[in-house]
Amino acid sequence: MSVATLSEVSAIVKSVKKSIDDTSTPSSPVSHIDRVLQTSIERLPTPAGTLFERVDFLIEQGQQIASQSANAAQTLTFWRVGLEVHRDILREQRADYGKHIVSTLSTQLVAKRGRSYAVRNLRRMIQFARLFPDPEIVSTLSTQLSWSHIIELLPIKNNEARLFYADQAAHNQLSVQELRGIISRKAFERKEIANAQITPGSAVPLDAFRDPYLLDFLMLKDTYLEHDLESAILRDLEEFLLETGNGFTFVARQKRMIIDNEDYYLDLLFYSRSLHRLIAVELKLGKFKAAYKGQMELYLRWLDRHDRQVGEEAPLGLILCTEASREQIELLQMDKDGIVVAEFWTALPPKEELENRIQVILRDAREREARRELPSENRGTE
């Protein structure tokens, strides 16, 4: 087995040290960080209060900017180091070289730069550079996510899913624990299942909902009423809003609507900042029924006439059922009327069972999508 020579090690160590130390290259993505931080400084609010309160506020803001700068610089440095080592390994085109050079390089870097460059972390840097080859994406992520966030993203095999989770973490300012949670709860796959309901000409935008919604955090007992479910959601509203994943804010519970001198009550009403529209939510125990469509359409028309503000998009409806009747949902084409149906699960199955159930639902959803795309004359021959 061939081992990296001393000259090979020396050459790559010099190159990597240059990447670690050099942050002034004009073409470097570091300039993007500088622009973001400068914008952050320019947008700082003018403090008010006593002299002490104003100065204390400025110090706190400065510490936040310094922390943001340090995290961005660390993440970007790790990417550049990983890229340099990855390129060197590709140039050599020897599997044994890559194995030994990482170990040798790590030993030398740890001696000078500390434990951040231990073998395991150095391999993560290489993986980071390989999975995120676009410098513009990396420079943006480095100002929004910490290295700990990046570590959670690296094991994800699907590139589209990896970018989805990165965007969710950045856009919603998720903690590392929250990011780990949405990954383990298969947020990407559940988004794809919900998207499968959306047909050409749909009034529902892609990526707006998930299916199923995992409401295990509500800690409901085996038997409960719709009122209990509604109360539990409001009790754990923060968890529910995180589960929706689309910037929902709570508006009303049991929203009253007077139609033909009769009172109607919508279970829950939210507003989505990202979608710029009201979201009406109805909670139903048991399987979905076709009659639910007419009820939700009535609520959406009323909201559109009476509650929709200037500049907002038309309201959308989300019907949450214990069990979705997926063929009925497909035939009704409710997405054209701005309505989505999703299951909700109040008990989270074990990890392996969750993965299997989600994969089965996703596979079936994609099969339904494929059937819809078949020419009409071929559908009856399946």
pLDDT tens track for 293-323: 999 999 999 999 999 999 999 999 999 999 9
Q: What are phi and psi of 170, to 5 degrees?
A: -75, -50
**Shared domain check, 62 and 166:** no
Peptide bond between residue 212 and the one before it cis (omega within 30 degrees of 0): yes
- Range of 331's domain? 187-379
On whether residue 50 sits in a domain, the answer given is: yes
* CATH label of the domain that carries residue 230: 3.40.1350.10
Higher per-residue confidence, 32 vs 374 = 374
On whether residue 252 sits in a domain, the answer given is: yes
Report residue 361 CA to chain centroid gap: 20
**Shared domain check, 349 and 320:** yes
Tell me the C-alpha to C-alpha distance, in Å, between residue 269 and each of 209, 213, 254, 255: 15, 17, 8, 7
On whether residue 351 sits in a domain, the answer given is: yes
Tell me the C-alpha to C-alpha distance, in Å, between residue 296 and each of 13, 266, 335: 64, 9, 12
**Shared domain check, 162 and 107:** no
Is pLDDT of 73 > 70?
Answer: yes
**Shared domain check, 362 and 281:** yes
Contact 115/45 with Cβ under 8 angstroms?
Answer: no
On whether residue 1 sits in a domain, the answer given is: no
**Shared domain check, 162 and 69:** no
**Shared domain check, 201 and 63:** no
Q: What is the pTM of this model?
A: 0.74
**Shared domain check, 165 and 307:** no
On whether residue 148 sits in a domain, the answer given is: no
Cβ within 8 Å of residue 361, ≥6 positions away: 193, 211, 212
Residue finishing a domain among 116, 143, 170: 143
**Shared domain check, 334 and 202:** yes
For the stretch 337-362, pLDDT in tens is 999 999 999 888 888 898 898 999 99
Number of domains forming the structure of the chain: 3
